[in-house]
Structure 1
Amino acid sequence: MKPSVGRVVHYVSYGTPGGEYASECRAAIITRVYPSEGEGSLANFSGPETVSLAVLNPEGLFFNQVCRHSEGARTGGTWHWPERTD
């Protein structure tokens, strides 16, 4: 799948060092897709699936301007496609 503005994805929160909040998936909407090559490129920073997100938290909105894609590791500060459910 290819990211595009308006798509719903999952953002992985960092959690807190003291453990008050765990790292977990949050709903997010893609607000910008960065090109992988050419003018305005972040190619040497990450890759073609670097996006800006509006993250929907229970406590309010969070805006992440440069968020990398990660389907496997699911580390804090990354985004991935929502899992399919039956």
Structure 2
Amino acid sequence: MSEQQVPSVGRVVHYVSHGTPVREDGTQAYTEQCRAAIITGAPDCDAHMECASLAVLNPGGLFFDQHVPHNETSQQRGGTWHWPERVG
């Protein structure tokens, strides 16, 4: 997308879940997954990081978090959010 998007209340974004800890055999019960989330607040975090407060929509229920860092890199880490990828 050529223009910079600005986080604002009500916008839909993707949250990357943390997943469960890695077991001794190298497996995980749940891996990092993209989940739908709604921005519930767009606080001013600091000059070096864009963040948002989110309501995350998981298959098993809702999760709420504040000051979640924004990450648009190809290395999307658990506990961050990014804009949904364009489809079609």
| Bin of the TM-score, shorter chain as denominator length | 0.7 to 0.9
Gap runs ≥5 in structure 2: none
Please give the alpha-carbon distance, in whole angstroms, between the structure 1 residues aligned to 2:72 and 2:64: 20
**Could you give the per-residue CA deviations for residues 56-83 of structure 1, whole angstroms, max 9, x where no partner exists?**
0000000011100001121000000000
Identity of aligned residues (%): 59
Residue 87 of structure 2 aligns to which amino acid in structure 1?
A: T
Please give the alpha-carbon distance, in whole angstroms, between the structure 2 residues aligned to 1:43 and 1:60: 30
Residue 59 of structure 2 aligns to which amino acid in structure 1?
A: P
Residue 46 (structure 2) aligns with: 43
Matched, 1:27 2:36: yes
Gap runs ≥5 in structure 1: 36-41
Residue 78 (structure 1) aligns with: 80
Residue 19 (structure 2) aligns with: 15
Taking structure 2 as the reference length, the TM-score comes to: 0.83
Three-state SS of the structure 2 residue aligned to 1:79 is: strand
Counting matched residue pairs gives 78
Tell me which stretches of 4 or more aligned residues in structure 1 moved more than 4 Å.
Answer: none
Please give the alpha-carbon distance, in whole angstroms, between the structure 2 residues aligned to 1:71 and 1:84: 13
RMSD of equivalent CA atoms: 1.2
Please give the alpha-carbon distance, in whole angstroms, between the structure 2 residues aligned to 1:22 and 1:50: 23
Please give the alpha-carbon distance, in whole angstroms, between the structure 1 residues aligned to 2:30 and 2:67: 22
Residue 30 of structure 1 aligns to which amino acid in structure 2?
A: I
Structure with the greater alpha carbon radius of gyration? 2
Three-state SS of the structure 2 residue aligned to 1:53 is: strand
